[in-house]
Amino acid sequence: MKVYVLNGPNLGRLGTRQIDVYGVTSYADLVELCESTGRELGISVTVRQTDAEHEMLGWLHAAADEAAAVVLNPAAWSHYSIAVRDACAMLRAPLVEVHISNIHTREEFRHHSVVSAVATGVICGLGVDGYRLALHHLATHRDQDG
What pLDDT is recorded for position 146?
A: 43
Q: What is the mean pLDDT of residues 78-83?
A: 96
The answer to whether the annotation marks 110 as part of a ligand binding site is yes
From the list 4, 99, 131, 137, the catalytic residue is 99
Q: Has 99 been annotated as catalytic?
A: yes
CATH of the domain at 55: 3.40.50.9100
- In angstroms, rounded to a whole number, what is the distance separating the alpha carbons of residues 25 and 16? 9
Give yes or no for residue 144 having a pLDDT over 70: no
Number of structural domains the chain divides into: 1
Q: Has 4 been annotated as catalytic?
A: no
pLDDT tens for 91-116 read 999 999 999 988 877 778 777 899 99
Q: Show the domain range for 74.
A: 2-145
Contacts of 25-29 with C-beta under 8 Å, sequence gap 24+, read 25/127, 25/128, 29/128
Q: What is the mean pLDDT of residues 49-57?
A: 98
- In angstroms, rounded to a whole number, what is the distance separating the alpha carbons of residues 141 and 69? 11
